[in-house]
């Protein structure tokens, strides 16, 4: 009789522990930020770069992520990211528009410092090996180039400048072009 009672109590307790809460709340992860975030309501910045819109969807500063960070970036027609590189992995997903990705790849090419041009388009993806110098350029006169950018090991340290050769010769994390 006593063992049956114990089994019943255990069963009721386990049921209580399993029931999901009925609230459809998305509140609150860290410092009052919602867990599920509407991307169209997130703040954007251009960091002083004309034609650029940058939104951090999930990152190290706001969301205390340590291993990965996600951005939504939009380049208006003719605009481009700086020529840069970083000691982390990066993946692009192009959502809208088209353009050119310049990549001076020490791992893929014979001559580091000499960028290859890659046509990029909506619904395409691309990854950048660690420390390869690169630049995304909206060469489409009529459309914004919109892309999701994923980086490992945030926050990223980006030495950048206007020169593929210097970027290739530059030591990782040097501050020459910061």
- Which residue stretch of 2-10, 73-81, 103-111, 170-178 sits at the interface with a copy of itself (rule: CB under 8 A)? 103-111
Binding to a copy of itself by residue 120, rule CB under 8 A? yes
- What minimum distance in Å lies between the beta carbon of 48 and a copy of itself? 25
Annotated binding site for Zn(2+): 84, 86, 90, 134
Binding to a copy of itself by residue 45, rule CB under 8 A? no
Binding to a copy of itself by residue 160, rule CB under 8 A? no
Question: How far apart (Å, rounded) are the C-alpha atoms in residues 67 and 65?
Answer: 6
Locate 89 and state its tokens. 């992995």
Binding to a copy of itself by residue 158, rule CB under 8 A? no
Q: Which helix (H) or strand (E) holds 62?
A: helix 60-63
Q: Which of 37, 54, 157, 177 binds a copy of itself (CB under 8 A)?
A: 37
Q: Choose between 52 and 120: whose C-beta lies nearer to a copy of itself.
A: 120
DSSP state of 141: S
Cβ neighbours around 124 below 10 Å, total: 15
Question: How far apart (Å, rounded) are the C-alpha atoms in residues 166 and 112?
Answer: 10
């Amino acid at each position: 009789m006593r063992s049956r009672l114990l089994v019943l109590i255990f069963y009721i307790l386990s049921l209580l522990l399993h029931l999901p809460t009925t609230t459809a709340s998305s509140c609150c992860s860290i410092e009052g930020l919602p867990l599920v975030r509407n991307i169209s309501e997130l703040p954007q910045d251009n960091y002083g770069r004309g034609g650029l819109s940058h939104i951090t969807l999930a990152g190290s500063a706001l969301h205390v992520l340590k291993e990965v960070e996600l951005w939504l970036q939009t380049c208006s027609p003719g605009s481009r990211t700086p020529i840069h590189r970083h000691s982390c992995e990066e993946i692009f997903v192009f959502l809208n528009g088209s353009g050119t990705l310049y990549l001076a790849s020490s791992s893929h090419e014979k001559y580091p410092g000499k960028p290859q041009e890659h046509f990029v388009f909506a619904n395409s993806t691309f990854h950048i090996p660690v420390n390869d110098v690169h630049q995304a350029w909206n060469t489409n006169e009529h459309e914004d180039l919109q892309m999701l950018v994923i980086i490992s090991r945030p926050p990223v340290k980006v030495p950048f400048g206007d020169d593929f050769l210097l970027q290739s010769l530059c030591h990782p994390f040097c501050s020459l072009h910061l």
